[in-house]
Chain A
Amino acid sequence: MLGYVVRRILIMIPTLIAISIVIFTIINLPPGDYFSTYIAELQSSGEAADLAKINFLKAQYGFDRPLWEQYIFWVGGLLHGDMGYSFAYNLPVNQVVGDRLLMTFIVSFATILFTYIVAFPIGVYSATHQYSWSDHLLTFLGFLGLATPSFLLALVLLYLANVYFGISIGGLMDPKYVDQPWSFSKVVSVGAHLWIPVVVIGTAGTASMIRRLRANLLDELQKQYVVTARAKGLRPLKLLFKYPLRMALNPFISDIGSLLPHVISGAAIVSVVMSLPTTGPMLLDALRSQDMYLAGSFLMFMAFLTVIGVFVSDLALAVLDPRIRLQAGRTQ
């Protein structure tokens, strides 16, 4: 087991290096850099760019150097915990990201909670009541949730919430609380705004989770150990929770790996539509304007979390399910 853990950790290093090269290359693929995009944007709206200041920044950040030197410079900074400088915000990246991370966590954990709370009972119910009218109804709703584009749902809900409940459009709280310290009324305001993004972002995930749980559980319910247990007279509910449901949970544990980056990036498109103060819209903006350090460091951070997440979920699986072998390739 220990050897497995060490090997897994060592493999993470070349993985991260490869990811950093890919990220850097992709960000630099479109022609030009942040400054040329910025100048073009200003000029197309008739504003004159302050060329003196732009030339100054270009020289400061080595934009006139070859690409590989810029890459070394960036990675070297990352190793020191220096995520670089955001040109669009005119601030170090750490400071730009900091404020938004909390909001992102709140939205994402609320969404995950919502997904679990709604999907679990429904999934279990529709598996145990397969092909009943209630299963058909829930399945229909699930597919509806899967098929509705979330940004469309977002717009409809925003409009209805504004017209009927007077909730301000977009954002996670009433505008007047944005720069206030946390207080009870601020929490209430966040709560009043939070349900829309949670429902919107959670819908698709809930629907797919219902489907997966139902399918997994159906597989298990047919198995002999279930029949045996039932024949021995175990109460149906106890039987369900003790055996087949546990078996059906494996895919959810291996999901943890992809959950972590999901939590950080949020649902970017929905966040953009709803103008949420999360990290998603910021990442999108940074990529579009080629704000290299902001986008790059942020993607790197997410890649790091994914790698860690996969690692954690592998370990958890190994611990929880003794059937999983660590040395799959070697025993033969």
Chain B
Amino acid sequence: MTDARLTRREVMWLGLALSTALVAQEATAAELQETPALKDDVASGKLPKIGMRVPEDPAVAELATIGTPGGELRMLMGGPKDTRMMVVYGYARLVGYTPSLALVADILKAIEVEHNSVFTLHLRKGHKWSDGEPFTSEDFRYWFEDVAQNKYLSPSGLPISMLPQGEGPRFEVLSETIVRYSWTRPNPLFLPDLAGPSPLFIYRPSHYLKQFHQKYAEKDVLDTLVKQANQRNWAALHNKLDTMYRNDNPDLPSLEPWILKTKPPSDRFVFERNPYYYRIDKQGNQLPYIDRVILSIADSKIIPAKTGAGESDLQARYLRFDNYTFLKASEERNHYKVWLWRTGPGSQLALYPNLNANDEVWRSLVRDLRFRRALSLAVDRHEINQVIYFGLAIEGQNTLLPQSPLFEPRFRKAWASFDPHEANRLLDLIGLAKASDGFRQLPDGRPLEIIVENSGESTEQSDVLELIRDSWRRIGIKLFAKPSQLTLFRRRVFSGETLMSIDKGIENGLATAAMPPWEFAPTTQQQLEWPKWGQYYETKGAAGEPPSLPSAIQLKDLYGEWLAAVSDEEHTRVWHDMLQIWAEEVFSIGTVAGVLQPIVVSAKLRNIPEEGIYNWDPGAYFGIYKPDGFWFDLSEASAKSASAASPPSHAMPR
């Protein structure tokens, strides 16, 4: 009976029941504590008291340890554009992922979802922007009506993830704190996009931006502002200042834990705590614990050296696995710890035979399933793992990682064992005869030489290709590596000039059923194995070619099913079917995955897990571990115990 009702009107309450219950208890249990760093401002009347700053029902953080507020976190970044990383790390989202990748309400008090098509968002009462102005449904309306649908500000209209089948939502303001988006069909892309590292921001600080909007500002005042800023028109000015993700406007109010205080350009960016932040700990301390974050800009190549000299308190960006020994060597001297986190891509590097290659003979060959399988069987993944990654990576195909709930070992193992004998047999079956020099020939008599192009960004790709070249020689195939330049590389793949390319594997190896399986179907031109089929989908048939391989068509149809599906079971079923086809068809040839990322953490920094996932989406790098809960332990005893801490669990061999 209850089951029947659930399927009829499936209502998903993300976190509501949980958070209201918790807040009710905690708010009475713990008195709000004034933040030490803000006491002076509160005393002098510059800031209201803490009770007036946090929402009436603040989010209560679940933390491993309760911290003491204060301190300054130093990080290194490669360029001024990296100020956006503070939006990624800060990870204040309407809904966000937990470390176990569950989607929960975060800025929102709760969200109701009906049939994956009607979304009702409940804001926290009394939530304020970083300048103290209230954060209300007006901020959502402003974006939806005056920004996203204004033809000057957004010439291309609503973002893709709000247009299932090209159709926008109906937007309603139900009250000061409740808004609703309703589509006529399911839109499973909406929530994952809100929780992304570079999220879909469906709200704006309207009280600030309205002074730059034609509809609200007085013409004369706005014209002078435009002139002063040396912009061409009001829309250019509005867009320049409205940088919620890019995060380079210190005047733009924000909801993030730390707010930019330095006006670019600079080589040192200071972020200060948001006095109106919406999260508290269980003892009533307002988060974030850390008062200030300092980003120093340095060339990305010098960052490992600077990190090793102890100039960063929390660093992973621009560090690579091969910096590990160097960093480890000065761990003691500069009082930090080096941890190794797993990375999230489905394969560190994968080979992509171009199914849309221009060369006809080659094209029909790579579309032959036996050929792709043979190539995959002739890659010695164990050797690659041992030689380049110290044996610490996970060998196998380019598919989901074991941490994903959808993972099955057979997906990763399919056609991934090293078996040159079987590979030779398959190639013989296709009829690729060997010439006198022992190398095979194409059906038209040309030697079977594969040129693998890459973007030339790292030497790692060349190293891996070197090993693959040796093992492919055993099946009579010659491989040549051709490093190129990023833009050029992609252009050649898109146009079909490239026969095969090597690049990062699928981005999201940690997917859950609720995340879109777009990477396994021809959905965008960016997919190196079938750029033209992807482009066809992306442009709704205006450019590219329709997929012509039955299995690729099937994947595309399955993706359509996923988009239309409403229940979790349906999503899981589609995912499984797609992974199954992907594993059997070997559209890309994976090598190893889960390569470790060194994380340098100050010995005094607490609440950051020793083992974690360093991933872009889902993950937002440090974001899902909520850096607002990190804190500096400045007590003498802790400094001692930290330096004597046990070595990380992924000990190096030897």
Residues of chain A having any CB pair with chain B under 8 Å: 30-32, 36-37, 40-41, 43-48, 50-53, 55-57, 59-60, 88-92, 95-96, 99, 158-159, 162, 168-171, 175, 178-179, 272-275, 277, 281, 285
Contact of A169 among B74, B267, B311, B507 (CB under 8 A): B311
Beta-carbon contact of B616 and A47 below 8 Å: yes
Shortest Cβ distance from residue B283 to the other chain A in the assembled complex, whole angstroms = 32
Name the A residues within 8 Å of B197 (CB-CB).
47
Shortest Cβ distance from residue B36 to the other chain A in the assembled complex, whole angstroms = 21
Beta-carbon contact of A272 and B299 below 8 Å: yes
Contact of B239 among A40, A53, A169 (CB under 8 A): A53
Name the A residues within 8 Å of B266 (CB-CB).
99, 178-179
Beta-carbon contact of B526 and A55 below 8 Å: no
Query: Given known contacts A91-B265, A175-B311, is B488 in contact with A31 (CB within 8 Å)?
Result: yes
Q: How far is the CA of A275 from the CA of B296 in the complex (A)?
A: 11
Q: How far is the CA of A88 from the CA of B297 in the complex (A)?
A: 15
Query: Given known contacts A89-B80, A169-B309, A273-B299, is B265 in contact with A99 (CB within 8 Å)?
Result: yes
Q: How far is the CA of A168 from the CA of B302 in the complex (A)?
A: 12
Q: Which 8 pairs show the lowest CB-CB distances between chains A and B? A: A178-B268, A275-B298, A275-B299, A46-B507, A46-B616, A169-B306, A52-B156, A175-B296
Shortest Cβ distance from residue B276 to the other chain A in the assembled complex, whole angstroms = 24
CB pairs A–B below 8 angstroms (27 shown) = A30-B487, A31-B491, A41-B486, A43-B526, A44-B457, A44-B503, A47-B198, A52-B159, A55-B156, A56-B153, A57-B239, A88-B80, A88-B81, A90-B240, A91-B264, A168-B311, A169-B302, A169-B305, A169-B311, A170-B305, A170-B306, A171-B296, A175-B294, A179-B262, A273-B301, A275-B298, A275-B302
Residue of A nearest to B262 (CB): A179
Beta-carbon contact of B81 and A168 below 8 Å: no
Name the A residues within 8 Å of B379 (CB-CB).
none
Q: How far is the CA of A45 from the CA of B264 in the complex (A)?
A: 24
Shortest Cβ distance from residue A287 to the other chain B in the assembled complex, whole angstroms = 13
Beta-carbon contact of A277 and B267 below 8 Å: yes
Q: Indicate whether B235 reaches chain A with its CB closer than 8 angstroms.
A: yes
Report the interface size class on chain B: 35 or more
Shortest Cβ distance from residue A50 to the other chain B in the assembled complex, whole angstroms = 7
Contact of B487 among A40, A50, A55, A99 (CB under 8 A): A40
**Among the interface residues B79, B232, B298, which one has the most CB atoms of the partner chain A within 10 A?**
B298
Name the A residues within 8 Å of B157 (CB-CB).
52
List CB contacts (< 8 Å) of B35-92 with chain A: 74, 79-81
Name the A residues within 8 Å of B296 (CB-CB).
171, 175, 178
Residues of chain B having any CB pair with chain A under 8 Å: 74, 79-81, 153-157, 159, 196-198, 230, 232, 235-236, 239-240, 243, 245-246, 248, 262, 264-268, 270, 294, 296, 298-299, 301-302, 305-306, 309, 311, 455, 457, 486-488, 490-491, 503-504, 507, 526, 616-617
Shortest Cβ distance from residue A164 to the other chain B in the assembled complex, whole angstroms = 12
Residue of B nearest to A49 (CB): B198
Name the A residues within 8 Å of B267 (CB-CB).
171, 178, 277
Beta-carbon contact of B311 and A56 below 8 Å: no
Q: How far is the CA of A89 from the CA of B491 in the complex (A)?
A: 26
Contact of A170 among B236, B245, B298, B616 (CB under 8 A): B298
Residue of A nearest to B615 (CB): A46
Query: Given known contacts A52-B156, A60-B232, is B265 in contact with A95 (CB within 8 Å)?
Result: yes
Q: How far is the CA of A298 from the CA of B236 in the complex (A)?
A: 24
Q: How far is the CA of A52 from the CA of B239 in the complex (A)?
A: 10
Query: Given known contacts A88-B81, A89-B265, A90-B248, is B155 in contact with A52 (CB within 8 Å)?
Result: yes
Query: Given known contacts A36-B487, A96-B265, is B455 in contact with A44 (CB within 8 Å)?
Result: yes
Name the A residues within 8 Å of B486 (CB-CB).
37, 40-41, 44
Query: Given known contacts A40-B490, A179-B266, is B198 in contact with A162 (CB within 8 Å)?
Result: no
**13 further interface pairs, Cβ-Cβ under 8 Å (given A37-B486, A281-B299):** A31-B487, A43-B526, A52-B154, A52-B155, A56-B153, A56-B235, A91-B264, A168-B309, A169-B311, A171-B267, A178-B296, A275-B299, A277-B267
Name the A residues within 8 Å of B507 (CB-CB).
46
Name the B residues within 8 Å of A40 (CB-CB).
486-487, 490
Q: How far is the CA of A91 from the CA of B230 in the complex (A)?
A: 10
Name the A residues within 8 Å of B309 (CB-CB).
162, 168-169
Name the B residues within 8 Å of A36 (CB-CB).
487
Beta-carbon contact of A59 and B155 below 8 Å: yes
Shortest Cβ distance from residue B212 to the other chain A in the assembled complex, whole angstroms = 14
Query: Given known contacts A37-B487, A92-B230, is B154 in contact with A170 (CB within 8 Å)?
Result: no
Query: Given known contacts A56-B239, A60-B236, is B198 in contact with A170 (CB within 8 Å)?
Result: no
Shortest Cβ distance from residue A102 to the other chain B in the assembled complex, whole angstroms = 13
Q: How far is the CA of A274 from the CA of B248 in the complex (A)?
A: 25
Name the A residues within 8 Å of B490 (CB-CB).
40, 44
Residue of A nearest to B524 (CB): A43
**Among the interface residues B264, B265, B305, which one has the most CB atoms of the partner chain A within 10 A?**
B265
Q: How far is the CA of A53 from the CA of B504 in the complex (A)?
A: 27
Shortest Cβ distance from residue B422 to the other chain A in the assembled complex, whole angstroms = 34
Shortest Cβ distance from residue B539 to the other chain A in the assembled complex, whole angstroms = 13
Residue of B nearest to A167 (CB): B309
Residue of A nearest to B526 (CB): A43
Name the B residues within 8 Å of A53 (CB-CB).
239
Q: How far is the CA of A46 from the CA of B80 in the complex (A)?
A: 19
Q: How far is the CA of A168 from the CA of B299 in the complex (A)?
A: 14
Query: Given known contacts A31-B488, A56-B239, A162-B309, is B617 in contact with A46 (CB within 8 Å)?
Result: yes
Q: How far is the CA of A155 from the CA of B245 in the complex (A)?
A: 35
Q: How far is the CA of A167 from the CA of B526 in the complex (A)?
A: 45
Q: How far is the CA of A179 from the CA of B617 in the complex (A)?
A: 33
Shortest Cβ distance from residue A52 to the other chain B in the assembled complex, whole angstroms = 5
Name the A residues within 8 Å of B196 (CB-CB).
48
Q: How far is the CA of A32 from the CA of B263 in the complex (A)?
A: 30
Query: Given known contacts A47-B198, A47-B616, A169-B302, is B154 in contact with A175 (CB within 8 Å)?
Result: no
Contact of A273 among B155, B235, B268, B302 (CB under 8 A): B302
Residue of A nearest to B147 (CB): A52
Contact of B616 among A45, A99, A162, A179 (CB under 8 A): A45
Shortest Cβ distance from residue A268 to the other chain B in the assembled complex, whole angstroms = 12
Beta-carbon contact of A89 and B264 below 8 Å: yes
Residue of A nearest to B268 (CB): A178
Name the A residues within 8 Å of B298 (CB-CB).
170-171, 275
Residue of B nearest to A89 (CB): B265
Beta-carbon contact of A158 and B487 below 8 Å: no
Beta-carbon contact of B616 and A158 below 8 Å: no
Shortest Cβ distance from residue A221 to the other chain B in the assembled complex, whole angstroms = 46
Q: How far is the CA of A281 from the CA of B302 in the complex (A)?
A: 13
Name the B residues within 8 Å of A169 (CB-CB).
302, 305-306, 309, 311
Residue of A nearest to B525 (CB): A43
Q: How far is the CA of A91 from the CA of B241 in the complex (A)?
A: 11
Q: How far is the CA of A99 from the CA of B263 in the complex (A)?
A: 12
Beta-carbon contact of B302 and A274 below 8 Å: yes
Query: Given known contacts A89-B264, A91-B265, A175-B311, is B156 in contact with A51 (CB within 8 Å)?
Result: yes
Name the A residues within 8 Å of B79 (CB-CB).
88, 285
Shortest Cβ distance from residue A306 to the other chain B in the assembled complex, whole angstroms = 26
**Among the interface residues A43, A170, A274, which one has the most CB atoms of the partner chain B within 10 A?**
A170
Beta-carbon contact of A56 and B155 below 8 Å: yes
Q: How far is the CA of A240 from the CA of B153 in the complex (A)?
A: 73
Name the B residues within 8 Å of A168 (CB-CB).
306, 309, 311
Residue of B nearest to A103 (CB): B267
Residue of A nearest to B506 (CB): A46
Beta-carbon contact of B230 and A175 below 8 Å: no
Q: How far is the CA of A308 from the CA of B301 in the complex (A)?
A: 36
Residue of B nearest to A85 (CB): B230
Q: How far is the CA of A36 from the CA of B525 in the complex (A)?
A: 14
Shortest Cβ distance from residue A249 to the other chain B in the assembled complex, whole angstroms = 38
Name the B residues within 8 Å of A272 (CB-CB).
299, 301
Name the B residues within 8 Å of A46 (CB-CB).
504, 507, 616-617
Name the B residues within 8 Å of A90 (CB-CB).
240, 243, 246, 248, 264
Q: How far is the CA of A162 from the CA of B306 in the complex (A)?
A: 9
Shortest Cβ distance from residue B373 to the other chain A in the assembled complex, whole angstroms = 28
